[in-house]
């Protein structure tokens, strides 16, 4: 069923399906956490994601999606999102986002988090903390009766108060029976603007935050988005479900480890 804004409203049976896809996505990231070390290539991390997802009888949603060639996205340092795993080796001091979307029985679950290699700089650590906290602050506003603008405004206000910038070129999205559905979930905006949240909605919030300017550009591979000023960027993503009382985070880490430190 769709509401008047064209946003899918899911029932509790649908929710059970979406939850199972979300569990596999977050378990994939829990598994990846053990493999992060200097010298490992991002392609080998992708292979581990691929094999893990298949071992759970699910499919990686990104593989073949609009021509995307891999089973996850790995975005290193100044890469904002959609980094394509390849033969680059992780090195001490790197920060990276791994973004996994799984399909199980036709249901989608999408999550990403940051990982760190060895010792990172204080400013990288602060970036990761602010980005993580901005996601949780957005989720706090994801309540029935609030608007999508309330979520975006809360994220933007918090990030800018901390002298960092929110990426405007990419957004969160409705999810469930498809990878990307209405609405676009902006990580900036004005309180009380945009569609109203209702029980049964399922969507991602996935703020990307830059230490420097917010502008991005896409590299010649047509996927990799980087900061124009080469400043470091971070991202965290959860899939959440709106219920009568508030919301439920569907992609929580079973190991209780979402922040990398």
Question: Interface residues with ligand MF3 (CB under 6 A)?
Answer: 62, 65-66, 68, 73, 82, 99, 101, 110, 204, 206, 223, 237
Q: How far is the CB of 191 from ligand MF3 (least distance, A)?
A: 25
Tell me the H-state helices in the chain.
12-33, 42-55, 122-140, 148-161
In the DSSP assignment, the letter for residue 61 is T
Nearer to ligand MF3, 172 or 214 (CB): 172
The position carrying tokens 């905006």 is 189
Of 251, 3, 5, nearest to 149 by C-alpha is 5
Q: Which two tokens stand for residue 93?
A: 């001091």
3-state secondary structure of 226: strand
In the DSSP assignment, the letter for residue 77 is T
Q: How far is the CB of 21 from Co ion (least distance, A)?
A: 12
Cβ burial, residue 208 (10 Å; 0-12/13-18/19+): buried
Nearer to Co ion, 17 or 172 (CB): 172
Concatenate the DSSP letters of all residues of 228-247 into one string.
Answer: TT---EEE-BEEEEE-SSSE
Q: How far is the CB of 43 from ligand MF3 (least distance, A)?
A: 15
Q: Which does 134 bind (CB under 5 to 8 A by kind): ligand MF3, Co ion, none?
A: none
Q: How far is the CB of 81 from Co ion (least distance, A)?
A: 8
Stretch that binds Co ion, among 29-37, 87-95, 111-119, 192-200 (CB under 5 A): 111-119
Q: Does 99 bind Co ion (CB under 5 A)?
A: yes
The interface with Co ion within residues 170-189 (CB under 5 A) comprises: none
Give the neighbor-by-neighbor strand order of the sheet with 202-205: 181-185, 172-174, 202-205, 238-242, 247-249
Q: Which does 97 bind (CB under 5 to 8 A by kind): Co ion, ligand MF3, none?
A: none
Q: How far is the CB of 124 from ligand MF3 (least distance, A)?
A: 22
Q: Which does 108 bind (CB under 5 to 8 A by kind): ligand MF3, Co ion, none?
A: none
Q: Are 257 and 33 in contact (CB under 8 A)?
A: yes
Nearer to ligand MF3, 158 or 223 (CB): 223
Nearer to Co ion, 94 or 99 (CB): 99
Nearer to Co ion, 77 or 204 (CB): 204
How are the residues of the chain apportioned to helix, strand and coil, as percentages rounded to the nearest 5?
A: 30, 25, 45
Contact residue for Co ion among 14, 27, 110, 150 (CB under 5 A): 110
Q: How far is the CB of 219 from ligand MF3 (least distance, A)?
A: 13
Name the residues that contact Co ion, by CB under 5 A: 99, 110, 112, 204, 237
């Amino acid at each position: 069923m769709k509401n008047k804004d064209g946003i899918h409203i899911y029932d509790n049976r649908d929710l059970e399906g979406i939850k199972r896809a979300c569990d596999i996505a977050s378990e994939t990231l829990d598994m990846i956490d053990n493999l992060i070390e200097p010298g490992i290539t991002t392609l080998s991390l992708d292979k581990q994601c691929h094999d893990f997802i298949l071992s759970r009888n699910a499919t990686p949603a990104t593989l073949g999606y609009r021509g995307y060639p891999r089973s996850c996205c790995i975005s290193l340092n100044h890469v904002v999102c959609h980094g394509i795993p390849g033969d680059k080796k992780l090195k001490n001091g790197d920060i990276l986002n791994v973004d996994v979307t799984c399909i199980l029985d036709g249901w989608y679950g999408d999550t990403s988090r940051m990982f760190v290699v060895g010792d990172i700089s204080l400013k990288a650590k602060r970036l990761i903390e602010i980005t993580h906290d901005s996601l949780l602050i957005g989720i706090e506003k994801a309540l029935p009766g609030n608007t999508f603008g309330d979520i975006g405004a809360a994220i933007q206000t918090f990030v800018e108060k901390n002298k960092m910038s929110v990426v405007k070129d990419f957004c969160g999205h409705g999810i469930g029976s498809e990878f990307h559905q209405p609405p676009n979930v902006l990580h900036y905006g004005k309180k009380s603007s945009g569609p109203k949240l209702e029980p049964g909605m399922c969507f991602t919030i996935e703020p990307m935050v830059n230490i420097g300017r917010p502008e991005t550009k896409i590299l010649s591979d047509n996927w990799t988005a980087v900061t124009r000023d080469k400043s470091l960027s971070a991202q965290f993503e959860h899939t959440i479900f709106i219920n009568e009382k508030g919301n439920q985070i569907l992609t929580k880490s079973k190991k209780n480890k979402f922040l990398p430190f």
